[in-house]
Amino acid sequence: MHKDTPLWKWALLLILAIILGFIGMLLLKVWNDSVDGIALLLLGPAAWLAVYYGGVRLIERRPAKDLPLRRLAPDLGLGLLTGILFISCVVGLIVAFGYAHLVPREDTWKAQLLSFCLCLGTAVGEEVLFRGILFRWIDERCGVIPALVVSGLVFGFLHLGNPGATVWSSVAIAIEAGLLLGAAYKWSGTLWLPIGIHWSWNYVQGSIYGIAVSGGSRPHSLFDTVMEGPDLITGGAFGVEASVISVVLGAILSAFFLYLRFRKRNSD
């Protein structure tokens, strides 16, 4: 929205998104471990995107510029690759330092597919809410730095109620994820890139490596990552998102995206 858009219009779009999120949570409660559940899981992200796109059209009277279909494949693909590499680097470093080892597990393709779809719903919903609405609102009124800081802190501390969460884990999430996803959104100008990062980040962490995702365990995974080191390195019960390694790598990648944004702006 433009900075002269009335605040109540922003609030209306935010309320619609939150209501949709609660509806999605209710739908997930009736989800069961079957292939039929995939259709239900895909309804959530489709509804999030439809409400966001329709809300922007209705309230701002213009298309949602951050959902261009021509950028869907390249930005989503880059995001997926970024999330995969990020989590794999974090886990790889912890293993290399001798604080963890991987134990293969047996899992079914059905469980993996369902988890992949579930992670998509989480990614789309949270990115629409925190980047598409909150970040963009602050950015257009106050600038990119306040937008990064405020949206990142809100995103991080909303995880404080998760299992195993601490003040440190919330700060870590704010830096490595909130800051990173905001920077990716600002550089790309689309929601597809942060959605892709968020999607593969959660899926690879939980369903590939078997690590708690923001404190929440995953019943199915291809590996068990057995941690045997200090919580500051391994992340403890909250998972590797509370690892100082994740924070450092996330801060570096955030700075890189902001650098790309700076170069892009100067070349325009």
Tell me the sheet residues that pair with 213. 216
Lowest mean pLDDT among 44-53, 129-138, 153-162: 44-53
DSSP three-state, residue 100: strand
Q: Alpha-carbon distance 186 to 193, whole Å? A: 10
The percentage of residues in the chain with a pLDDT greater than 70, rounded to a whole number, is: 84
Q: How confident is the model at residue 264 (pLDDT cuts 50, 70, 90)?
A: confident
Model confidence, pTM: 0.90
Residue with the two structure tokens 């609102």:
137
Buried b (16+ CB within 10 A) or exposed e, 50-75: ebbbebbeebbeeebebbeeebeeeb
Torsion sign over Cα 238, 241, 246, 252: negative
Which range scores top for mean pLDDT: 43-57, 129-143, 167-181, 206-220?
Answer: 167-181
For the chain, domain boundaries: 70-267
Confidence of residue 103 (pLDDT cuts 50, 70, 90): very high
